[in-house]
A and B are shown apart, each in its own frame.
Chain A
Amino acid sequence: MVKMIITGNVAAAWGARLSRAEVIAAYPITPQTIIVEKLAQFVSDGDLKAEYLHMESEHSAMAACIAASQTGARAFTATSSQGLVLMHELLHWASGARTPIVMANVNRALAPPWNVWVEHTDMMSQRDTGWIQFYAESNQEVLDTIIICYKLCEDKDIQLPAMIGLDAFYLSHTSEIVDIPDQDLVDKFLPQYDPAYPLDIENPTSVGSLSMPHQWYPEFRYKIHEAMQRVLPKLNQIEEDFYKEFGRKYTGPLELYDTEDAEVVLIVSGAAAGTVKETVDMLRKKGVKAGVIRLRMFRPFPSEELAKALSKVSFVGVIDRSFSFGHEGAIFSELKASLYGLKKYLPIKNFIVGIGGRDITTNTINRIYDNCFSCLKNNKIDTPVEWIDIKV
């Protein structure tokens, strides 16, 4: 194992390299470019034995990944924002075809106006595509989650694709110390891809053909649902193995931070979790019972785990770095739905923060906690969905 000071983008490229991705279909987009550049360099230097395809769009990049996966190769790609939404049709295709593709997505806002900074709307709007979704907090987590994802996605009980979100610039372009695991340890943890149904000239089949209402279409869909239900228990097991092999502990879909005795808990995903944790540390020193839950996964959505983690909490603030126009933040909606039917009423408020990469500081988070405590004290939610730091 070596330690390197690298950006999130380089960590993502290392994740794909250590996972021995065999087909990399790449198309550049800011701020993802360094991922595909670094991978190209790995291939040019002979450090990664892979077919590197210079695709002419993200749409084609995903199509090539799907086809490569169906032919029996381990496929990787990376994108961001406009690129991800251009792929949308094929994201559905990838899960429908049950291809265990792993993709890094640098979370970036959507145009217009043009904006290359962090926001989660790109991935949130892929909610129903049948992809497993992770949001990383650190560069180490980016690298590790790619390896974990291949292990998870290629499992015969799962066979679904996964995307790992890393926040634009906060992770993609910020250097941190990252442990690069030894290749032989990764090889032991993640053996070569063994596809269940590769295209085979000795056993010709027709893959993806028409299926009418009275035939098998609903069953194919139901099978995806079943596989999604197996993801969290499977992940738990894989992360335990990962801990034994590499000594780094991941805790499934949620990371709980000072939640045990917390009165107010904020829920946040992505790199901003660090700022929230720091704010909690400051508040705890003053005796304020604040906590935070970092949501690592958006799909499958950890409804039961959240309900359990929030069972003793008095007030919840949900930070959404995205917005579903005409409604509210996506995590807020999902959380409310998850808590529906519980005996205890739990007041929840939605904070729309950091849109288009606007900085989230400890000051911002402090004000959010203040507001939550004041809502709790007054027994009244002032504004159910509040956009923070908006100038109009």
Chain B
Amino acid sequence: MKRAGIPTEEFIYSGHTACPGCGAMLVARYLLKVLGKNTIMNIPACCFAAIPGTFPDTCLGIPLLYNAFETTAATASGVEAALKIKGKKEKITVVGFAGDGGTADIGIQALSGAIERNHQIIYVCYDNEAYMNTGMQTSSLTPMGASTTTNPVGKKGGWRIRPKKNMMEIVAAHNIPYAATVNPSYPMDFIKKIEKAKSIKGTSYIHAYSVCPTGWRYQPELGLEIGRLATETGIFPLYEFENGAYTINYKKKTKEVLEYYKLQGRFRHLSDDFIKEVQTLIDKEWEKLLYKEECSHR
């Protein structure tokens, strides 16, 4: 059953240990609402490894398989292959659910292999932009300008200078059947994309924006607003890559990067000039994305 377009059934029950305002929790909740009961989920070391409960408890209504940090996609591959040989593949959705470090850093090789083999799996990266479970260390998806515990602000600078890796482009370069960005601040778009991923033959990659009040240093109640700003500034554009074509799902890029940056403690040390540099980069990336979409639909 759906209410306002959102399935009413819940697969995450009470008793979890996520921080108040956790973005990953929202991502998992919407994801499982769409995927439903016939789903096997596997997760590596990440925030979500600590959230569902300790053995033998679980707050999830689906089988949950824990795997080693760098093996999410390889593990999902193994589950899928076993279901295939056992004749259960058509009935069950296999989803790998990993953080940004587990996806873009230590797990990228396994992810590349799984996409190349085109397993019938959905790989979800919930991107909270640092190693948050271990206490906010920099990952390759930590954004430009952020301070983390391994990019601490000191007398000589020290915060992160490099922009974040573009995972969507990396998976697109594999000619993946389907990839999409989702943001829990846009639930209808989110649900539509998971439904599509479920219907796709072959591998789907979902890059999920995942706010983190603890690591980004803002009041938890601001999570959804920050999420909307991420998309309205073009920092986290909503788009899809399907059959080699790009489609942007939200084109109102109306806000300045500064508005997004000033709400979060992790950017507090930045000068206006630095934020202008970020703005220039974001504008350039947005132009590139528009061009890619235009080329796709010529």
Contacts and interface: CB of A to CB of B under 8 A. Distances in A.
Interface of A: 22-23, 25, 49-51, 53-57, 59-61, 63-73, 75, 89-90, 93, 199-201, 204-212, 215-216
Nearest to A210: B54
Contacts of A212: 54
Nearest to A92: B68
Interface string B99-127: 00000000001101100110000000000
Tell me which of B63, B71, B76, B78 has the highest count of chain A C-beta atoms within 10 A of its own C-beta.
B78
Q: Which of B68, B74, B77 has the most CB of A within 10 A?
A: B74
A60 B39 contact: no
B66 interface: yes
Contacts of B42: 67
Contacts of A90: 68, 71
B81 A53 contact: yes
Given A72-B82, A201-B40, A59 B70 contact: yes
B66 A209 contact: yes
B58 A204 contact: yes
14 contacts: A23-B78, A50-B85, A51-B82, A51-B85, A56-B116, A60-B71, A63-B71, A64-B74, A64-B78, A66-B75, A201-B40, A205-B56, A207-B63, A209-B49
B79 A67 contact: yes
B245 interface: no
A209 B76 CA distance: 17
B177 interface: no
B62 interface: yes
Contacts of B6: none
Contact of A63 (B54, B56, B68, B92): B68
B237 interface: no
B75 A64 contact: yes
B85 A209 contact: no
A130 B287 CA distance: 54
B63 A73 contact: no
A54 B113 CA distance: 8
Given A90-B71, A199-B40, 11 more contacts: A23-B82, A51-B85, A53-B77, A60-B74, A67-B74, A199-B65, A204-B58, A206-B55, A206-B66, A210-B49, A216-B56
Nearest to A54: B117
A200 B92 CA distance: 10
B66 A73 contact: no
Contacts of A25: 77-78, 81
Nearest to A89: B68
Contacts of A68: 78-79, 81-82
Contacts, number: 159
Interface string B45-88: 00001101111111011111111101101111111011111100
Given A51-B82, A53-B81, A209 B53 contact: yes
Interface of B: 37-40, 42, 49-50, 52-58, 60-68, 70-71, 73-79, 81-86, 91-92, 109-110, 112-113, 116-117
A57 B109 contact: yes
A23 B63 contact: no
Contacts of B117: 53-54
Contact of A67 (B50, B64, B67): B67
Contacts of A210: 49-50, 53-55
A207 B64 contact: yes
Contacts of A89: 68
B85 A56 contact: no
A58 B67 CA distance: 16
B3 to A, nearest CB: 24
A63 B75 CA distance: 5
A206 B64 contact: yes
Contact of A215 (B38, B54, B92): B54
Contacts of B77: 25, 53, 55, 60, 64, 67
Nearest to A220: B55
B63 A66 contact: no
B176 to A, nearest CB: 15
Given A60-B74, A73-B82, A67 B65 contact: yes
Contacts of B55: 206, 209-211, 215-216
A211 B85 CA distance: 32
Q: List the 3 shortest-distance A-B pairs measured between CB atoms, nearest first.
A: A67-B78, A56-B113, A64-B78
Contacts of A57: 109-110, 113
A209 B82 contact: no
A25 B73 CA distance: 13
A56 B74 CA distance: 9
Contacts of A55: 74, 77, 113
Contact of A201 (B49, B63, B82): B63
Contacts of B81: 23, 25, 51, 53, 64, 68, 73
A54 B118 CA distance: 11
